Structure 1
């Protein structure tokens, strides 16, 4: 189970190209369930500058989210989600189940506090990560070992 994490990610730094001019938005939901798929060529619009394709499914109880430019914050109650994405930078898939979480992001810097488990894998030019029920490892720019959501890592920049 993961209680807290903080990181700076190269992929999130590159994704700032997609969000630097994102308009302000905020919303809350009491219950939610949604699925979707997307694929797109680059356009000069927020969220569409990097070509990508993917699919997702999510459901939960209680959610509040706010976003503006490269900043975002979110709080969630019990939820489960799964997603997969491929873009010019890399590819990955993850499944997540959480009791509750709160997160904030400012460009490449992200902080998350919550109680949940992650299962999935990502691969890209800067490394690879594999987790199963919060246990796994990453190799590359960030090298880490995770055991039941507790992680020890070393970032090389």
Structure 2
């Protein structure tokens, strides 16, 4: 995986995401895939309003990134990184977030996701998935996606 691809994946993740029921349907028969990158840095903007009703802009940089996926299961690990972005989509609403992490690891199985690490996410999002507010890595998400975060560690459950 190239540095540019890693920066795109991290950057887009901070901007927008699909609702959980769409992810589940899209990914139920997803084949296995694993990617890794050493250092990465990049900025970008995307306008997919006609295709997926998404638009956003981001900047991301970090050292060490790996991601594995199969069906509705995912795992990800990141070394020191920083990213910021803002996005708009019909599925996830409006979001503006900045993130800096010393390191993190996350895993998800369908609607359940857990993340451990040391990070200071700061920002807000509002939309069909609920309301999210975080300051220095600590915050909550209330709505169809319910989560609690403490200094970059997070446990979330996505109802739909």
Common fold by TM > 0.5: yes
TM-score of the aligned structures, taking structure 2 as reference length: 0.69
Residue of structure 1 equivalent to 2:20: 12
Q: Deviations over 1:12-64 (max 9, x none)?
A: 33333443444432122121112222222565xxxxxx421122221111112
Q: 1:131 aligns with which of 131, 134, 140?
A: 134
Residue of structure 1 equivalent to 2:110: 107
Matched residues in 1 for 2:141 and 2:157: separation? 10
Q: Does 1:59 align with 2:46?
A: no
Higher relative contact order (CA 8 A, sep 6+): 1
Q: Which has the higher strand share?
A: 1
CA contact (8 A) 2:117 2:153 kept: no
Structure 1 unaligned blocks of 5 or more: 1-9, 44-49
Aligned Cα RMSD in Å?
3.3
Q: Does 1:30 align with 2:38?
A: yes
TM-score of the aligned structures, taking structure 1 as reference length: 0.70
Larger Rg: 1
Higher alpha-carbon deviation: 132-141 or 110-119: 132-141
Structure 2 unaligned blocks of 5 or more: 1-17
Residue of structure 1 equivalent to 2:70: 68
Q: Which has the higher helix share?
A: 2
Q: Deviations over 1:117-154 (max 9, x none)?
A: 11011111352111121244444456777665578999
Residue of structure 2 equivalent to 1:3: none
Q: 1:95 aligns with which of 81, 95, 98?
A: 98
Higher alpha-carbon deviation: 131-140 or 142-151: 142-151
CA contact (8 A) 1:92 1:121 kept: yes
Count of residues in Structure 1 that have an aligned counterpart in Structure 2: 142
CA contact (8 A) 1:54 1:83 kept: yes
Matched residues in 2 for 1:100 and 1:129: separation? 22
* Secondary structure of the corresponding residue to residue 60 of structure 1: strand
- For residues 140 and 35 of structure 1, do their structure 2 counterparts lie closer, same or farther at Cα, with a shift above 3 Å needed? same
